[in-house]
A and B are shown apart, each in its own frame.
Chain A
Amino acid sequence: MTTLRAFTCDDLFKFNNINLDPLTETYGIPFYLQYLAHWPEYFIVAEAPGGELMGYIMGKAEGSVAREEWHGHVTALSVAPEFRRLGLAAKLMEMLEEISERKGGFFVDLFVRVSNQVAVNMYKQLGYSVYRTVIEYYSASNGEPDEDAYDMRKALSRDTERKSIIPIPHPVRPEDIE
């Protein structure tokens, strides 16, 4: 029981209960505006009947069609602690996948901290698998390398042979990913 709608600038003033989570990054305004300007359909927020923001997903479409790399990307997905265990993240992911399907993407991908077991398991349940490990993808606020990421993928219907998700055995560095 949720209202799902497009994320707007005014929501930035109301998302503290979601963003005060230690694993949810609060980005600079340009970052949000860039997504809103370029991929507004991919930025969806869930609102509770009382008006509280429950969670949001932020994503984009990118990659070369010719090389069969055109895909949906999950940039951020976060649900406030009090609205967890309702299947909201799954619902938001489903929407992002549907949008990516419509755009003719081959797959959807995302990066997640290897230590974030809760998230990794959730994505696995939603049909995602680890495509590769990206070494020192995350950095701490002082700029020091902090942690590795899994690049997880799920094939969309356009990728009939599910070629896009065949795992790469060797870890890569952040500068090697596109």
Chain B
Amino acid sequence: MLRHILVTSNMAARGHVQDPNDRRLRPIYDYLDNGNNKMAIQQADKLLKKHKDLHCAKVLKAIGLQRTGKQDEAFSLAQEVATLEPTDDNSLQALTILYREMHRPELVTKLYEAAVKKVPLSEEYHSHLFMAYARVGEYKKMQQAGMALYKTVPKNPYYFWSVMSLVMQAISAQDDKLAQTMFLPLAERMVEKMVKEGKIEAEAEVQLYFMILERLGKYVEALDMVRGPLGEKLTSELQSRENKCMMMYQRLQLWPECNALSYKLLLKNPDEWQFYLSYFDSLFHLMDKSWSPPNEEEHCVEGPVQTTVAEAVKFVVDRMEEEDKKDSRPLRGPYMACLELIHRLRQRGCPDEEELGDPLELMLQFFGKFGDKPSCITDLKIYLHLLPPEQHTQFKNRLGDLVPLGEVGEDGFGFPGDTKVLQRHLCVCQLSRVLGLQHTLDTEGKLCLITELKAHYHYGLQFGKSCLKTELQFSDTYCLMVAHVYIDLWTETGDENMLWQCLGVLEEGLSYSPSNAQFKLLLLLLFCRLGAFQPVVDLYSSLDAKHVQHDTIGYLLTRYAGSLGQFAAASQSYNFSLRFFHSNQKDTSEYIIQAYKYGAFEKIPEFIAFRTRLNQSLHFAQVRTERMLLDLYTEADITSSLEESVKAMGLCPEEDDIPWDNMRDNRDLTVLFSWDPKDRELTEEHRRLSLEEESVWLKVRSLTLRLLASLALLGHAPSPRNSDKTNENGVSAKSSTLQTLLSQLDLTLQTAAQITEKQTQYPFLGPPSSRLASALSSGSCHCQASALQLSLTLQELETTGLDDSSELQTQICNSFKSLIVQLQELLSRCKGEVLEMKDSRLMTQPSLLETLVFFVETVCVVLWVASYSASVLRPLKSSLQKKKKKTKDSSTAMPVVLSGFQEWTGSLQGIVTQALDHVKGQEASLTALKLAALTLGVGHAQTQEECGFTRAAMDKVQTSYLGSLQELGDLLRKRADSLKSLKF
């Protein structure tokens, strides 16, 4: 990668004659490219001994240093060269790479500013300068650099880079007025000048002109431009001119033109859905305005306009007839358009809908034509509201008549003879679920339905015997629906057997169809709900989710890993996501520059918005916060002190980097298929509530993190360099931060309480609930807050001293006692069996595990406060002892706070021991559980094979619980060790 710099700079600057310096530098480039940084540094040193002024060697050495973690050395070496304002290609490009690796792109601009000054006629340096500005988003300087470039070398792209930079100034302007009255008009004038001079060359330039006019709201001018000679350049994109005209017609509410153009485009392609929508929209607008054509010759520039329902009906009916006549595969568009028209006529209370026919018959007709396509359900779902509820059963039965099943066998079911009939039958099942007909069945009915669907599932597997493992089985959807009905039963009756059987059937499905993502997603969700995170890791990794998917579906992992005590897995899943988010910033800048180079101007604001969307992602903020909290919980005061950990993370309590007001929820909350009826579907309100809940929980977590950072710095021993006075100020500033954060936490917890009162229930397949409700009800949030509050009081004691502070001391001792009570309560909420067998049923209580995690987290916080307490009390105690020695007074009693503290650490020790015993006990009873002793398949018969899958799922849950307990136990043991250091 570095080497090509050398090659290109050679070719550009000196043709084929090789510069001796290049020959000398080559080995260093090679070492760097091969990752051999040490050798690169050595080689550079060797070279520099002989050729002191070979600046590039210095920079290459700096790259080597940077890559071996010697950032400071690298930086000062680079600056040595930079201050000389180099103008040789090798040094400039190597510095550019170095600065980029240092995440200091702003320094590249300085570099080329100097180079351009020294070599003002260099096209290359000017263009590098422009790109350097682009990388840091300096739009005004880009505008100037673009113009300077154009003046040096009058090439069109340079001129338009400058124009685009004006557009970017408009887009980024805080004040829209400035955009509308200054930047955009200036950009417009710049383009107009080129138009007048006949200098427009490229399609990109026309695109940019269009963009400017559009942003200025000059739709008439934009339309004229697209229709005129300039518009002829718009050729790359298919239907580019038509699409742009349509957009302008809609903006300008030129309904006749909109209507006529839609009509024309639909005649050409009767499957283009967007044009049906614009055709209907415009038609009704025209009807509302009682528009009539101005003359008989031509309705408008786009041709004939349709203004009556009768015409629209005829148009749609004609399109359907055309399809009916065709020999080739019919298109769905016209038939869907017919339903859409009925829907719209009905909305308007227009009686003419009857002319199109009865929706029920039309949908049957649609099913007749497209029922064997998997998309049939997605299509018909949109228009089911056209059927009155009393027709639902009739509709389902009539659909059934269109599905020729084979003879009814012993089990009472008839089966499809081929995959097309199978798909039709499936579609009927899906429709009856969407219509709510499955939900109204009683438990017995649902169990019968399960039996029927399972029979169909197993029967259908024969059609997919030759399927590759990357293909789905034709009958997979039956299996998924069985799982959905099981979930209905579980949530309605609370019968956990339904859940176990559900897991079994999905595991079975996966064994026949190993790449079915829906099976994996649902299994993953169910295991998470069961509190069993271990199986989730493999399921998720088999989905092969990557890159942007870490943002859209990563929540499925990160919501549960930590909260279930699988800390190692949690850490890993946070890392996956964080790696993606961190690369975003650098990656996108590179392509913004590419977009300038290729003239894809409309993509530039799009890329910037994309980058912002990722930076403001809720999930990004969550994993960022949770990652640091997790590191503290698992490491601080174990491998290194809290203070060191906080410093290593670069955590600053005053800083809040979460974009609370612009948080973007990028989670894909409909990634799991659902055929639930409309009233059970995920709504916008659900989405809003989920984001609200997650944000408040994030606020609690982020405040906790900042409070811990603040606590760590409170314990920071005054550094000798600082004078006493600043020290004092420093300490009080720190404690006031702590105070501020504590009151913010208090407010947030109040909001949180209001939110959890609502007890929002999301659809099962929708967003998981946040940890907020369980955190509050466990008492962990309040316990942590009181512990942190205590640190403030202790700080006060530190300034007051032991004399004359009896009130303060009593207050502290009360806090000690109260914390013990709170922890004890929290621990008591963890008691119970997370997994047990009762009357040959397997029962789970995953909430116990979640509470235990809250307990452990809270213990960590309390112990950090205890360690801070010790650091405050220790010097007070030793000065007291000194005093005692001096006065030889042994009669005075130990101050309350000191004895209280000793008592406190004793009680803390006791609680941790209790907790460890509890964990041990749980582990023992889990290990003793012999799941093999369970008799499965009682009641509703599961086959031997199904039972096997259910058992396997149960084993996974048991193992996972054990894993969680082990990790929690390990952490508690380490914490118990840290307690020893508190003795004095």
Query: Are A and B associated in one complex?
Result: yes
Minimal beta-carbon separation of B672 from chain A (angstroms): 10
Minimal beta-carbon separation of A144 from chain B (angstroms): 16
Cβ contacts under 8 Å, A118 to chain B? 471
Minimal beta-carbon separation of A114 from chain B (angstroms): 12
Complex alpha-carbon distance, A97 and B110, angstroms? 46
Interface residues in B242-256 (C-beta closer than 8 Å to A): none
Complex alpha-carbon distance, A176 and B78, angstroms? 40
Would B468 and A38 count as touching, CB distance under 8 A?
no
Would A30 and B236 count as touching, CB distance under 8 A?
no
Would A49 and B336 count as touching, CB distance under 8 A?
yes
Contact with B along A18-44 (1 / 0, CB 8 A): 011111001111100110111011000
Contact with A along B540-574 (1 / 0, CB 8 A): 00011111110111000000000000000000000
Known: A2-B273, A22-B544, A36-B600. A13 touches B666 (CB 8 A): yes
Would A30 and B591 count as touching, CB distance under 8 A?
yes
B375, B378, B598, B603: which has the most chain A beta carbons within 10 Å?
B375
Among B236, B336, B379, B607, contact of A102 (Cβ-Cβ < 8 Å) = B236
Would A37 and B595 count as touching, CB distance under 8 A?
yes
Q: Does A3 reach chain B (CB closer than 8 Å)?
A: yes
Minimal beta-carbon separation of B682 from chain A (angstroms): 13
Cβ contacts under 8 Å, B610 to chain A? 9-10, 12
Minimal beta-carbon separation of B503 from chain A (angstroms): 20
Number of A-B contacts (CB under 8 A): 153
Would B273 and A84 count as touching, CB distance under 8 A?
no
Total interface residues on A, CB under 8 Å, equals 54
Would A4 and B381 count as touching, CB distance under 8 A?
no
Among A1, A8, A41, A84, contact of B606 (Cβ-Cβ < 8 Å) = A8
Minimal beta-carbon separation of A1 from chain B (angstroms): 4
Q: Which of B10-18, B325-333, B626-634, B866-874 is near enough to bind chain A?
A: B325-333
Would B547 and A9 count as touching, CB distance under 8 A?
no
Would A26 and B545 count as touching, CB distance under 8 A?
yes
Cβ contacts under 8 Å, B595 to chain A? 36-37
Minimal beta-carbon separation of B110 from chain A (angstroms): 26
Complex alpha-carbon distance, A130 and B512, angstroms? 32
Contact with B along A79-113 (1 / 0, CB 8 A): 00111111100000001001100110000000000
Q: Which residue of A lies closest to B590 (CB)?
A: A30
Complex alpha-carbon distance, A157 and B866, angstroms? 81
Minimal beta-carbon separation of B514 from chain A (angstroms): 9
Q: Does A173 reach chain B (CB closer than 8 Å)?
A: no
Interface residues in B630-677 (C-beta closer than 8 Å to A): 666, 668, 671
Would B547 and A16 count as touching, CB distance under 8 A?
no
Would A115 and B468 count as touching, CB distance under 8 A?
yes
Complex alpha-carbon distance, A36 and B337, angstroms? 32
Among B333, B470, B551, B609, contact of A9 (Cβ-Cβ < 8 Å) = B609
Among B235, B373, B609, contact of A85 (Cβ-Cβ < 8 Å) = B373
Complex alpha-carbon distance, A47 and B591, angstroms? 26
Would B237 and A50 count as touching, CB distance under 8 A?
no
Cβ contacts under 8 Å, A54 to chain B? 375
Q: Does A126 reach chain B (CB closer than 8 Å)?
A: no
Cβ contacts under 8 Å, A14 to chain B? 668
Complex alpha-carbon distance, A23 and B472, angstroms? 12
Minimal beta-carbon separation of A37 from chain B (angstroms): 4
Would A28 and B587 count as touching, CB distance under 8 A?
yes
Q: Does A172 reach chain B (CB closer than 8 Å)?
A: no
Q: Does A76 reach chain B (CB closer than 8 Å)?
A: no
Cβ contacts under 8 Å, B272 to chain A? 2-4
Among B276, B378, B544, B597, contact of A48 (Cβ-Cβ < 8 Å) = B378
Contact with B along A54-96 (1 / 0, CB 8 A): 1000000000000000000000000001111111000000010
Q: Does B397 reach chain A (CB closer than 8 Å)?
A: no
Cβ contacts under 8 Å, B793 to chain A? none
Would A26 and B546 count as touching, CB distance under 8 A?
yes
Q: How extensive is the interface on chain B, given as a class? A: 35 or more
Would B375 and A82 count as touching, CB distance under 8 A?
yes
Cβ contacts under 8 Å, A135 to chain B? none
Complex alpha-carbon distance, A40 and B594, angstroms? 12
Q: Which residue of B lies closest to A4 (CB)?
A: B272
Known: A10-B610, A40-B600, A86-B332. A34 touches B594 (CB 8 A): yes
Known: A33-B587, A83-B374. A49 touches B273 (CB 8 A): yes
Would A29 and B588 count as touching, CB distance under 8 A?
yes
Would A1 and B546 count as touching, CB distance under 8 A?
no
Complex alpha-carbon distance, A82 and B426, angstroms? 12
Complex alpha-carbon distance, A54 and B331, angstroms? 15
Q: Does A139 reach chain B (CB closer than 8 Å)?
A: no
Cβ contacts under 8 Å, A121 to chain B? none
Known: A9-B609, A26-B545, A82-B375. A1 touches B668 (CB 8 A): no
Would B329 and A27 count as touching, CB distance under 8 A?
no
Contact with A along B591-616 (1 / 0, CB 8 A): 10011011010110011011001000
Among A13, A21, A23, A37, contact of B551 (Cβ-Cβ < 8 Å) = A13
Would B668 and A52 count as touching, CB distance under 8 A?
no
Complex alpha-carbon distance, A8 and B605, angstroms? 11
Interface residues in B75-126 (C-beta closer than 8 Å to A): none
Minimal beta-carbon separation of B462 from chain A (angstroms): 19
Complex alpha-carbon distance, A54 and B594, angstroms? 29
Cβ contacts under 8 Å, B36 to chain A? none
Complex alpha-carbon distance, A38 and B336, angstroms? 36
Minimal beta-carbon separation of A82 from chain B (angstroms): 5
Would B375 and A86 count as touching, CB distance under 8 A?
yes
Complex alpha-carbon distance, A40 and B607, angstroms? 12
Q: Does B238 reach chain A (CB closer than 8 Å)?
A: yes
Cβ contacts under 8 Å, B600 to chain A? 36-38, 40
Would B374 and A2 count as touching, CB distance under 8 A?
no
Complex alpha-carbon distance, A50 and B941, angstroms? 39
Known: A16-B552, A36-B603, A40-B600. A85 touches B588 (CB 8 A): no
Cβ contacts under 8 Å, A98 to chain B? 238
Known: A16-B549, A81-B374. A6 touches B594 (CB 8 A): no
Complex alpha-carbon distance, A90 and B63, angstroms? 50
Complex alpha-carbon distance, A28 and B553, angstroms? 15
Q: Does B515 reach chain A (CB closer than 8 Å)?
A: yes
Q: Does B966 reach chain A (CB closer than 8 Å)?
A: no
Q: Does B837 reach chain A (CB closer than 8 Å)?
A: no
Cβ contacts under 8 Å, A1 to chain B? 271, 273, 276, 331-333, 336-337, 379
Cβ contacts under 8 Å, A26 to chain B? 544-549
Minimal beta-carbon separation of A35 from chain B (angstroms): 10
Q: Does B493 reach chain A (CB closer than 8 Å)?
A: no
Complex alpha-carbon distance, A27 and B668, angstroms? 18
Contact with A along B921-950 (1 / 0, CB 8 A): 000000000000000000000000000000
Would B236 and A99 count as touching, CB distance under 8 A?
yes
Complex alpha-carbon distance, A3 and B937, angstroms? 48
Complex alpha-carbon distance, A14 and B670, angstroms? 9
Would A19 and B332 count as touching, CB distance under 8 A?
no
Among B329, B515, B583, B607, contact of A22 (Cβ-Cβ < 8 Å) = B515
- Chain B residues at the A interface, C-beta cutoff of 8 Å: 235-238, 271-274, 276, 329, 331-333, 336-337, 340, 372-375, 377-379, 381-382, 468, 470-472, 515, 517, 521, 543-549, 551-553, 583-584, 587-588, 590-591, 594-595, 597-598, 600, 602-603, 606-607, 609-610, 613, 666, 668, 671
- Can you name 30 A-B residue pairings with CB atoms under 8 Å? A1-B331, A2-B271, A3-B273, A3-B274, A5-B274, A9-B606, A9-B610, A12-B610, A16-B552, A16-B668, A21-B517, A22-B470, A22-B515, A26-B546, A26-B547, A29-B547, A30-B591, A34-B594, A37-B598, A37-B607, A38-B598, A40-B603, A47-B273, A50-B378, A81-B374, A82-B377, A83-B375, A85-B374, A86-B375, A116-B470
> What are the 6 A-B residue pairs with the smallest beta carbon separation, nearest first?
A33-B591, A20-B517, A9-B610, A1-B333, A22-B515, A41-B236
- Chain A residues at the B interface, C-beta cutoff of 8 Å: 1-6, 8-10, 12-14, 16-17, 19-23, 26-30, 33-34, 36-38, 40-41, 47-50, 52, 54, 81-87, 95, 98-99, 102-103, 115-118, 141
Given contacts A1-B276, A83-B375, A86-B373, 4 further A-B contacts (CB under 8 A): A23-B470, A29-B584, A36-B606, A41-B237
